[in-house]
Amino acid sequence: MENKDFVLMKKYEMGRMLGQGTFAKVYYAKNIKTAQTVAIKMIDKEKVLKLGLMDQIKREISVMRLMNHPNIVDLYEVMATKKKIYFVMEYMKGGELFNKVAKGRLKEDVARKYFQQLITAVEFCHSRGVYHRDLKPENLLLDENGNLKISDFGLSALVDSKRQDGLLHTTCGTPAYVAPEVIGRKGYDGAKADIWSCGVIFYVLLAGYLPFRDSNLMEMYRKIAKSEFKCPHWFPPEVRRLSSKILDPNPIRRISIEKIMEHTWFKKGFDGKQTKSSTAAEDMKPIDVINGVTANDNNIQEEEKKDTTKPINMNAFDIISLSAGFDLSGLFVDPSHKKEAQFTSWLPATAIISKLEEVANFLRLKVHKKKNGIMKIEGSKEGRKGFLSIDAEIFEFTPAFHLVQMKKTNGDTLEYQKLWKEDIRPALKDVIWGWQGEQGHLQQLNST
């Protein structure tokens, strides 16, 4: 796929890889007929099916087909083969907004422009009955003219997903940006939750760091629940007031998008006009078939099927009450001092389990699955103190954020330490939050 001469579906000349995730890679490409540059997201269908993420892919297609707005990334077409699914999308030459913010705070006028474009796009989503649920700088891309566009609707919800109480109930999102009511798991208004995330982004743009920061994830959740943050001295009074209104922990009191758009700070230099290029999704003829399911199939259920192998679902506040001293700041504690280790991962539980099995098989260790996300890994040869045994237990914070606790339950401690340090720990690096994703994100923003 790195071969630039490769032609996909006799239509797109493939170029360099722009990025990759757990089950997808994104490539730069050019339409042979029109010379239009695009980004093609190549998804491994086998991995998606194995991880149980096909509904998420279908949801993303359904939502993106509804989104025709100048500040939302266009999905041009979807193609599929027996092994791959291809999203042909608008190419965003400017990359992620996060890359700009990671260098430090933005000038007020620049931050205002991005915030105006963000709020305008989110208002459009909500008017179409779509809630993004994972708004953060990494999911805000910039085009060649520096205009902001929302991407990655994989965790979005349609209005049809609401229960009879009119609320959404699936906990999802990125910890530093997630609204307190989402963490509380009592049901939440998708629009209000998105507004909170916009408030965190608003603060980050102008401050250069997160409003809720702590190396201890539980302490960060506590601060989010109480909206415990301080505005830096350079925030003008009107920005301070707007921040407090958006980051109100009570969703009923939280300011609406309409009121944000009426705020004097927001309205400065805002014309509200929207223009759309002629290459919008409705002008194209997509091939939207994935195993017989079209992109217009909105019958996606919010609730997951019961699974005995599913990890224990734990609210962050439940964990705080169970263990007041529970601290995630020392991810992967030095095994020379302890017989257990903890790490967090953004991958689904199925992917974590699959990786643990892969590592165990490579090291010729036996794997025994138990209920509630617990796995027992055992040595095949008897050591100085019997057979080495390690329990791996997975706890779910959100569907895409897990805590994994690995603990030696039998065998020699020195043998365990050697195996852990030299073999298991390095092999798990691809699933560790401490080495990629949110932890690095927090560290980068905190250092600015």
Binding site per annotation, positions: 41
Q: What are phi and psi of 222, to 5 degrees?
A: -65, -45
Between vectors from CA 169 to CA 253 and to CA 24, what angle results, nearest 5°?
A: 115
Structure tokens at 133: 């649920």
- The tokens for 298 are 């909105």
Active site residues: 134
Q: Answer yes or no: are the C-beta atoms of 404 and 344 closer than 8 Å.
A: yes
Residue keyed to tokens 């998606």: 48
Q: How far apart are CA 349 and CA 437, in angstroms?
A: 16
Q: Which 8-state DSSP code applies to residue 293?
A: B
Comparing CA positions, the residue from 223, 428, 190, 251 lying closest to residue 331 is 428
**Degrees, nearest 5: CA angle 215-220-223:** 140
Token pair recorded at residue 304: 């997951």
Binding-site annotation, residues for ATP: 41
Nearest to 121, CA basis, from 189, 188, 58, 73: 73
The residues near 163 (Cβ < 8 Å, ≥ 6 apart) are 169, 187, 302
Q: Nearest 5°: phi and psi at 127?
A: -70, -20
Residue 229 Cα distances to 111, 210, 218, 226, 375, angstroms: 20, 9, 15, 9, 39
- Secondary structure in 3-state letters for 215-261: CCHHHHHHHHHHCCCCCCCCCCHHHHHHHHHHCCCCCCCCCCHHHHH
Query: Distance between CA 14 and CA 30 in Å, rounded?
Result: 7
